Structure 1
Amino acid sequence: MAIGSGLGAQIGIAAESSYGTYVAPTKFIEFTKEGLVLKKTTAQSAGIAAGRLLPLSSRRVLTRKEVSGPLEMEIANKGMGIIFQALMGTSVTPVQQAATTAYLQTHTLASVAGKSLTIQKGVPLTSGTVTDKSMLGCKITSGEFSCDVGGMLTGSFEIDGRDCDETQTLAAASYSNMAPFHFGQMALKTGTFGTETALDGIRKVSCKIERPQDVERFYANQSALKKEPIENDQVKITGSLDSDYVATTLDDLHTSDGATSLVWEFIGPIIASTYAETFRITLPAIKLDEGPPAVDGFGVVKPTFTFTGLYDGTNLPKIEYLSTDVTL
């Protein structure tokens, strides 16, 4: 028996081979909060029947079902690749580094067609019995990463799903010894792509990657369920850089509307040889939208620069993840 509270909850994830078809979870994520729920649309008959004062129960029908909600977590040093793949789109096979136990995943921005997940959540009753709610056909429509002074690197993902299946067997959760990336490991670099240098004064970074999709593909012959969402707009990448005003680098880019490459990375302990645990986002071109410095008191000037990620014509944004994971 589990503990009859959130202490007994679990989240398991698996990549689907076919949209909306259940796959038993293979990865178990240490999450901080989730809001994945089944949403249903019903219609109630308005037919008039002499003397009937209340709508008839048998004349209410279920016309549409779907799943949506957020999934929040700390970004850990292993087990996260399956989520990055669903967000970024590239089919990734971890590449062994030399003859070590370090494996590099490179998640380059690509189409997310065919990238769906089964997300199984275990929700404990107060008795300690954990109920199964398997969310099928889960597509990640956005992912936001953030890290502040003294904090962990966190990720918040918006999910759109096809259905909730409560008939599956709850998988037995197992967790490897994971550690979160954190502010003490954080570096931010800007400059020419491939030769970016460290930028001083950065206190907080956030980056959001949005994958717009048509999630309203409800058709006849689908038993009230949607077909796989299709991308229907360009990718949107935005973020912010909270800083102390120690240099004019960002200020000058804001003024000129110039582009710079941005590398945001976390370097953890050595896995083997020269290969360290790594989480890295590379945006080959960003432009600053807002944030010119303003003095609002006696303290240090602290501008927050917002940015938009764009295509430099050659290099695509990517997430690199170096861990001991042999597979996603």
Structure 2
Amino acid sequence: MTQLDYTVGVGKESTYGTAVAPEQFFESEAKMDLEITTVSAAGLRPGKGVHRTNRNSVVRRAVMGDIDVEITDAGFALLLEAVLGTKTSAAGVDTFTLKTNDPMPSYTIEEVVPFLGGSGQAGQTFAGCVAESITIDVKEGAIVTAKVSWIGKQYATKGSPAAASYPAGDELFTFVGGSITLNSLVVSNVTEFSVTIKNNFDGGGFNLGAAGLRARRPELGKRDITGSLNAELVNATITDWYTSQNALPIVLNLTTSRGGKLDITLPAVRTKGELPKSNGGQVSVQTVSFEAFDNGVAAQPVTIAYKSAGSVADPVIVSATWGDWYLDPGDSYALTTVTGATTVTLERLPKGASTGTWVTITATADGGTPGRYNYPLPGDATNAATYRVRVKATNSVGVSVYSAEVLKTVTP
């Protein structure tokens, strides 16, 4: 082990502050930290002219830190969900929007920092971490980067940290694979673009009984969506944008050669300047800071779409029909047309129930009719029974979709 062999892993928690194993590792410096706050008593004694150890106490332990990454076309989705909070997936594309209610998801960050001389390592976990902000930077001649800032609940040493693993064959997003539109027009004079989304969590939660730790997740505040861009002065477009104070849309598109994409859409952006200025005979460049708003028209003030290269599309149930149901095996069937699925199963609720646990119906594919599944059903020879049923289609990475639920009656 050398000083190069540090690792940073992140895992999503099911219970706030309860540490979990990493599910994704990032090529980032290990920068998480523990800030311990102490106070000294005001009381004095003759002959004691300095602070005393027995009058100095720990009053707060707060976790904080950053994860800085060069963005690739595999694995970045976890960080986007951590900051924005809401994720939907369709056709292999993950779309992230701002979660509008508490709580935000929490994560465990696990780091390994090697000891000098290769004699061992400092394994450490930071549980109850929520993402306070993300800044994405796109600069000419550079790799696209992101900084995610965290605040957490507690720190612990980790004697046997998880072995790091990384996506195979992932590719970096760079300035070369990018384009930007302003007010629905592609512009070619932008040399730098940056956007920051900040959740503005409250700073409380250090309550009695929590031993100086946060007793609860941080609560969402009013978010800020800000940024900046540098653009060569080729026309009056940016000047007019500033002086009119119109709220215009900005869309940043980034791609990789193997099909990855990262799209950032800001439907209503107002700039805070600047007017054109000379540059000593060099090319004049306008540096423009901006803020994104909710304009009451667009569904979201910010949307980020991310596609991992080589990602598997969600399965699609094109159609699902059910034949008459009989007790005899083979007489009952479902006829389906499904794309993108590796398995198709039929499910039912308990007899007569409209809610509850779905149970897989043992079915056999009909070799003579593609998409037909035959099965026996529970029932008896004299009494009809009604069941709520559906079709479940699952792809190779475990994503499942379901057909509309149907009420069917078993005919004796």
For Structure 1 versus Structure 2, the TM-score category normalised by the shorter chain is 0.7 to 0.9
The alignment of Structure 1 onto Structure 2 pairs a total of residues equal to 307
The answer (yes or no) to whether the contact 1:89–1:113 under 8 Å persists in 2 is: no
Q: Which amino acid aligns with 2:23?
A: T
Offset, 1:158: 1.6
Q: 1:23 to 1:297 in 2, by over 3 A?
A: same
Deviation digits for residues 195-228 of structure 1 (CA, Å, limit 9, x no counterpart): x231120111011111101122211011211121
Q: Indicate whether 1:182 and 2:171 are aligned.
A: no
Over 3 Å counting, the alpha-carbon distance change for 1:45 and 1:198 in structure 2 is: same
CA offset digits 1:89-111 (Å, max 9, x no partner): 10x2543x2xxxxx210001223
- Say yes or no: does 1:69 pair with 2:59: no
Query: For 2:287 and 2:198, how far apart are their aligned partners in 1?
Result: 21
* SS in structure 1 of the partner of residue 238 of structure 2: helix
Identity, in percent, stands at 27
Q: Which amino acid aligns with 2:116?
A: T
Work out the CA distance in 2 between the residues paired with 1:320 and 1:45: 53
The verdict on how the C-alpha distance between 1:267 and 1:155 changes in structure 2, with shifts beyond 3 A counting, is same
Aligned: 1:89 with 2:73: no
Distance 1:241 1:45, change over 3 A: closer
CA distance in 2, matches of 1:268, 1:327: 25
Query: In the alignment, is residue 38 of structure 1 matched against residue 34 of structure 2?
Result: yes
**Secondary structure at the counterpart of residue 253 of structure 1:** helix
Higher-Rg structure is 2
Q: Hey, what's the Cα distance between the residues in 1 that align with 2:23 and 2:251?
A: 31
Pairing partner for 1:139 from 123, 126, 130: 130
Please name the residue that 2:97 is paired with.
108
Alignment of 1:247-266 (within 5 A): 247-266=235-254
Match status 1:155 vs 2:152: no
The equivalent of 2:193 in structure 1 is 205
Question: 1:54 & 1:307 partners in 2: Cα distance?
Answer: 50
CA–CA separation in structure 1 for the residues paired with 2:20 and 2:79: 15
Structure 1, unpaired ranges of 5+: 98-102, 271-275
Change (3 A) 1:44 1:256: closer
Say whether 1:231 aligns with 2:213.
Answer: no
The equivalent of 1:273 in structure 2 is none
The Cα of 1:114 is off from its aligned counterpart by 3.2
1:254-307 Cα distance to aligned partner (Å, 9 max, x none):
11111211101101124xxxxx21011110110111122111321111111211
| 1:269 paired to 2:257 | yes
- With normalisation by structure 2, the TM-score equals 0.70
Residue 70 of structure 1: CA displacement?
A: 2.1
Conserved in 2, the CA contact under 8 Å of 1:160 and 1:215? no
Distance change in 2, residues 1:327/1:215 (3 Å): farther
Does 2:305 match 1:320? yes
Instruction: Name stretches of at least 5 consecutive residues in structure 2 with no aligned partner.
Output: 312-396, 400-412
Asked whether 1:28 is paired with 2:25, we answer: yes
> Could you report, residue by residue, the CA deviation over 1:22-57 in whole angstroms, capped at 9, with x for unpaired residues?
0100100011x3431011122345655676676554
Deviation at 1:327, TM superposition (A): 8.2
| Residue pair 2:35, 2:63 contacting (<8 A) in 1 also | yes
- Ranked by relative contact order (alpha carbons within 8 Å, sequence separation 6 or more), the top structure is 1
- Return the letter of the residue paired with 2:35: K
1:17 aligns to what?
Answer: 14
Q: Report the TM-score when normalising by structure 1.
A: 0.87
CA root-mean-square deviation: 2.1
Secondary structure in 1 aligned to 2:207?
coil
